[in-house]
């Protein structure tokens, strides 16, 4: 199946700092989503972004499908941003499921 790699695996930030999370994938996709798993385990869908750029408050995401990567930007980080950020993709052909990366664990300290 398609390979999804995320970097960095761990990130510690001071509150107020900015960060960029990266997701690389090994094949053409017709879907890419970013999820946030909070410390209580809940999965929150942040962006559906198979291509282009989207912004939602302090978060924005960019996917360059032709180069097989996506970036998630977090600006002015807050402690509530802590958790694990997952990138998930669906291959272009015959996908019945999403393939998840191994995640980036973000810890924001006050």
State which residue, 83 or 103, has the beta carbon closest to other proteins: 103
| x-marked contacts with other proteins along 77-96 as a string, rule CB under 8 A | ---------x-x-x----xx
Q: Min. distance of Cβ 5 from other proteins in angstroms?
A: 11
Rounded Cα gap, residues 96 and 110, in angstroms: 41
- Count of residues engaged in binding other proteins, rule: CB under 8 A: 22
**Smaller CB distance to other proteins: residue 41 or 110?**
41
Residue with Cβ nearer other proteins (33 or 77): 33
Q: Judge whether 32 and 45 are in contact, CB under 8 Å.
A: no
Q: For residue 63, state whether it binds other proteins (rule: CB under 8 A).
A: no
Stated as kind and residue range, the H or E segment containing 8 is none
Q: Which residues make Cβ contacts (< 8 Å) with residue 79, sequence separation at least 6?
A: 15, 108, 109, 110
* Beta-sheet strand order (sheet of 52-56): 4-7, 19-25, 69-74, 59-64, 52-56
Of 23 and 108, the one with the shorter C-beta distance to other proteins is 23
Taking CB under 8 A as the rule, does residue 25 contact other proteins? no
Q: Kind and range of the H or E element at 64?
A: strand 59-64
Report the alpha-carbon distance of residue 18 to residue 14 in Å, rounded.
Answer: 9
Q: Which residues bind other proteins (CB under 8 A)?
A: 4, 30-31, 33, 35, 41-43, 45, 48, 86, 88, 90, 95-103
């Amino acid at each position: 199946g398609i390979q999804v790699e995320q970097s960095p695996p761990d990130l510690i930030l001071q509150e107020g700092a900015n960060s960029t999370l990266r997701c690389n994938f090994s094949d053409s996709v017709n879907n890419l989503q970013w999820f946030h798993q909070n410390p209580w385990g809940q999965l929150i869908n942040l962006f559906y972004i198979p291509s282009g750029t989207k912004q939602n408050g302090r978060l924005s995401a960019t996917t360059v499908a032709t180069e097989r990567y996506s970036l998630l930007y977090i600006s002015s980080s807050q402690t509530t941003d802590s958790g694990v950020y997952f990138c998930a993709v669906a291959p272009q052909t015959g996908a019945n499921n999403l393939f998840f990366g191994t995640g980036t664990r973000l810890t924001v300290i006050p």
